Amino acid sequence: MRGHDLFRVAAIFAVMLCYSTILLGGNVMASNNGLACPDWPSCFGNGNFLPALHGGVIAEWGHRVSAFFLSASILVLAILGLAFERKRQVLLRLGLAALALVVGEALLGGLVVENQLESSLVITHLGIATVLFGVLLVVALLANLRELPARWIRWARQAAEEQTRVPGLSGGVGRPAPGRADPAPERAASREA
């Protein structure tokens, strides 16, 4: 497997793990089990990372384990980016941004617990999770563009072309609307004058 392939597969893994972690976090919240592990990073103190699994601990601890695998997968993604994607700066930067976000999110998860589920912290935790998912989705899509089925690309082109036909949106995708002159040369000429 080439380096680019490793990166694009790692990106897909990270998106899927992020989605699972978000679902498990929603489950913790909905089942009111946010404090089933009352401390962080251990669960019931004294460096206990493998608590007895019963009741709400299963939900809370499951969310933490999923977050751990998500963080590991994003670390791998960022390392692969540094190793193989230096020429595709967008992918490299988004991978590093995802790493920063997931580290912040894990620390914030700890703060949520230490502060007895303070609502502003919970909302920020949800907000960062959403941004992280968006960033990973964009990385996975861009890294896998060449692998996407041709008909998906056709649909995207078609949607973009529909957009250029909306009045007032000429040039929205870098081209003037049909029947309109490209204003760019005129603008350039007036700047030079």
For residue 20, how many other CB atoms are within 10 A of its CB? 16
Give the C-alpha separation, 140 to 188, whole Å: 37
Q: Which is nearer to ligand HEM, 62 or 170 (CB)?
A: 62
Q: Is 67 in the site for ligand HEM (CB under 6 A)?
A: yes
Question: At which residue do the structure tokens 């909905």 appear?
Answer: 30
- Closer by beta carbon to ligand HEM, 70 or else 143: 70
Contact 100, 19 (CB under 8 A): no
For residue 15, the minimal CB distance to ligand HEM (Å) is 12
Alpha helices by DSSP H, 144-183: 150-164
Cα end-to-end span (Å), the chain: 55
> Which CB sits closer to ligand HEM, 73 or 170?
73
**CA distance linking residue 47 with residue 156, whole number of Å:** 50
CB of 62 to ligand HEM, least distance (A): 11
Site string for ligand HEM, 127-166 (x = CB under 6 A): --x--x----------------------------------
Helix locations, 85-118, DSSP H:
89-114
Asked if 117 is part of the footprint of ligand HEM (rule: CB under 6 A), the reply reads yes
Binding range to ligand HEM, per CB under 6 A, among 49-57, 123-131, 135-143, 166-174: 123-131
- Crossing angle for the helix pair 89-114 and 55-84, to the nearest 10 degrees: 160
Site residues (CB under 6 A) for ligand HEM?
A: 18, 21-22, 25-26, 28-29, 34, 40, 63-64, 67, 70-71, 102, 105-106, 109-110, 112-113, 117, 122, 125-126, 129, 132
